[in-house]
Amino acid sequence: MPFNRPFIVVLLLLIVAVFSFQRWGGEGRGEVRRSRIIMGTVVEITALGEDQDALEAAVNDAFAEMSRIEGLMSPHLPGSDVARLAGPVSSLEVSPDTAAVLTLGLQVARVSGGAFDMTLGRLKELWGVETENPRVPAAGDIAEALQGTGLEALRLDGTRVEKGAVDLAVDLGGIAKGYAVDRAAAVLKNAGIERASINAGGDLRLLGDHQGRPWRIGIQHPRQDQVMLATLALADTAVVTSGDYERFFEKDGRRYHHLFDPRTGYPSAASQSVTVVADSAMLADALATAAFVLGPEAGLALLEQFPGAEGMVVGADGVPHPSPGLKERLSWP
d(CA 281, CA 217): 15
DSSP 8-state class, residue 328:
G
Size of residue set near ligand ADP by CB under 6 A: 22
Q: Which stretch binds Mg ion (CB under 5 A): 78-86, 96-104, 147-155, 289-297?
A: 289-297
Q: Could you tell which of Mg ion, ligand ADP, none binds residue 171, using a CB distance below 5 to 8 A set by kind?
A: ligand ADP
Residue 201-240 contact track with ligand ADP, rule CB under 6 A, x = bound: xx--------------------------------------
Strand order of the β-sheet with 160-163 is 91-93, 160-163, 154-157
Q: If binding is defined by CB under 5 A, does position 285 make contact with Mg ion?
A: yes
Q: Are 32 and 52 in contact (CB under 8 A)?
A: yes
Q: If binding is defined by CB under 6 A, does position 46 make contact with ligand ADP?
A: no
Give me the least distance between CB of 47 and ligand ADP, in Å please: 23
Q: Which of 262, 265, 295, 299 binds ligand ADP (CB under 6 A)?
A: 262
Give me the least distance between CB of 293 and ligand ADP, in Å please: 5
**Looking at this protein, which amino acid is placed at residue 164?**
G
Residue 265-294 contact track with ligand ADP, rule CB under 6 A, x = bound: --------------------x--xx---x-
Q: Are 185 and 65 in contact (CB under 8 A)?
A: no
Which of 189, 176, 209, 188 lies closest to 40, judged by CA?
Answer: 176
Q: If binding is defined by CB under 6 A, does position 173 make contact with ligand ADP?
A: yes
Residue 61-100 contact track with Mg ion, rule CB under 5 A, x = bound: ----------------------------------------
Give me the least distance between CB of 175 and ligand ADP, in Å please: 7
Q: Which stretch binds Mg ion (CB under 5 A): 62-70, 144-152, 266-274, 286-294?
A: 286-294
Q: Is 235 helix (H, G, I), strand (E, B) or coil?
A: coil
CB atoms within 10 A of CB 166: 11
> In sequence order, what are the beta bridge partners of 238?
205, 278
**Enclosing H/E stretch for 158:** none
**Residue 151 CB partners (closer than 8 Å, separation 6+):** 109, 110, 114, 117
Q: Could you tell which of ligand ADP, Mg ion, none binds residue 141, using a CB distance below 5 to 8 A set by kind?
A: none
Which residues inside 174-203 make contact with Mg ion, applying CB under 5 A? 174
d(CA 197, CA 43): 10
Q: How far is CA 92 from each of CA 80, 118, 166, 170, rounded to the nearest angstrom?
A: 12, 16, 11, 12
Q: Which of 43, 48, 120, 314 binds ligand ADP (CB under 6 A)?
A: 120
Q: If binding is defined by CB under 6 A, does position 117 make contact with ligand ADP?
A: yes
- The angle formed by the CA atoms of residues 231, 232 and 238, to the nearest 5 degrees, is 135
Give me the least distance between CB of 294 and ligand ADP, in Å please: 10
Strands 41-48 and 154-157: unpaired
Give me the least distance between CB of 275 and Mg ion, in Å please: 11
Full DSSP string of 111-128:
HTTTSS-TT-HHHHHHH-
Q: Which of 197, 237, 242, 272 binds ligand ADP (CB under 6 A)?
A: 242
Residues that bind ligand ADP (CB under 6 A): 116-118, 120, 124, 171, 173-174, 177, 201-202, 242, 246-247, 258-260, 262, 285, 288-289, 293
